[in-house]
A and B are shown apart, each in its own frame.
Chain A
Amino acid sequence: MAFICVKEPLQAPVPEELSDKELLNSFRNPDTRSYAFNLLIRKYQKRVYWHTRRLVISHDDANDVTQDAFIKVWKHLEGFKEEAQLFTWIYRIATNEALSFLRKKKYKFLIPFVNVENELTRHLIDDNFFSGDEIQLKLQKAILRLPEKQRIVFNMKYFDELKYEEMSSVLGTSVGALKASYHHAVKKIEKYLKEN
C-alpha cells in the first residue's frame, strides 16, 4: 500500500448523491440492489472509516472493521425498518464492530484491557498514517486512557460532531447520561494535558 497520505476533513463534503429514502428504494429492487449499495458505501464510507479509525487507531484494523461493518449492513438492510435514521443505524453497526474487534484482540493476545490501550498508543506512535503534531498526539493518548464508553462518546461528539439525540440513537443511552459522560471525558483529557 502506498504511503502517500490524504488528510480528510472532519466532515467530508459528499458529492451529489441520492437521499437515504431513494437509496433504500433502489436497494429493495433486485435489479438495482448492488448499484444502490455501492452508492450507499460511497455516501457513508468516510464517516464510518474515520469513526472506526479513532477507535481502533491502526489503518489496517480500521479498514477491516469498516469492510465488516458494511457487509453486515448489506445483510441486514433488507430488514431495516426506518424507525431510526439510516446513518445512525450504520454508525451503530460500525461502533459494535469496532468494539467487538477490540475485545477479540484482547482475548486473542490474552492481554488485560489496560494494556490494550497501551497497545493502541504504541500503534499511534508507530503509525505511518498519523500525521498530527505533538499536541495532537498527546490528545489522542489522553483519549485512549478514557474508559471505553467515554471514549466513544467523546469521539462521536468532539470529532464526528453528532448531536446528543443522534448519539442516543446510536448508543441506546439517554441524552442526560451522554452529556454527563462527555463532560467527564473532557475534564479528564484537560487534566491529562495539563499534567503531561
Chain B
Amino acid sequence: MGTNKNIEHNEDEQGLPVKQNSFSAPSDYFDTLPVEIMDKIHSSAKQKKAFSILNPSFAVTSLALLSGMIALLIFLKTNASSSEIMLSENDIEHVVQNPESYNIDEDAIIEKYLSSTIELTEDNPVISDDDIKNFLEESSDINNIINEY
C-alpha cells in the first residue's frame, strides 16, 4: 500500500505530468476511520432515540405532565368559583354589619319555629319529642327554616 502507481496516459493526457497521488494521510488513519464513523452513527442513534417524540417513555411522561397541568388548572378554577359563592363582597359586608345574625344556635331556631307552628295547650304544655319528630317528617324543608330565620 505504500507505493505510488504510475498509470499509462491516454491520448488526451499527453501533455500532463506522470499520474501519481501527491496527497497523504496520517499513518493509522484508515484503521481508525471505520471505528470513528460507527461511534458517530451509534451515538447519534442513541441521542435520537432519547429525544424522540415517538419514544414511548417520552410520550407517557409528556402525557402525564399534561394531564397533571390540566387537573391543576381545573382545581384552581373550581376553588376560585366556589370561594366566590361562599364569600362574595356583599356577604362579607353583611356579616360585618350584622355580626349577631351569624351566631346561629340550632336549638333556638328549632324552638322558635316550632313555637310558632305548634300550639301549646294545657294537655300539651311542653313540646314533646314526638311533636318534633312529626314536624320534621311533615315539613322538612330546611330552606324554609333558613329563609324564615
Contact = CB atoms under 8 A, between A and B. Distances in A.
Can you list the 4 inter-chain pairs with the closest CB atoms, starting with the nearest? Answer: A132-B22, A190-B15, A5-B24, A136-B22
Nearest to B1: A12
A115 interface: no
Interface string A20-55: 000000000000001001100110011001100110
B56 interface: no
A51 B22 CA distance: 13
7 contacts: A6-B1, A6-B25, A9-B4, A34-B38, A41-B37, A49-B25, A130-B23
Interface in B75-98: none
Interface in A49-72: 49-50, 53-54, 59, 63, 66-67, 70-71
Nearest to A131: B24
A32 to B, nearest CB: 14
Contacts of B99: none
Given A66-B33, A161-B7, A59 B38 contact: no
B25 A45 contact: no
B112 interface: no
A132 B22 CA distance: 4
A190 B15 CA distance: 6
Given A9-B1, A136-B17, A186-B16, A67 B23 contact: no
Interface in B1-53: 1-5, 7, 12-13, 15-17, 19-30, 33-34, 36-38, 40-42, 44
Nearest to B38: A38
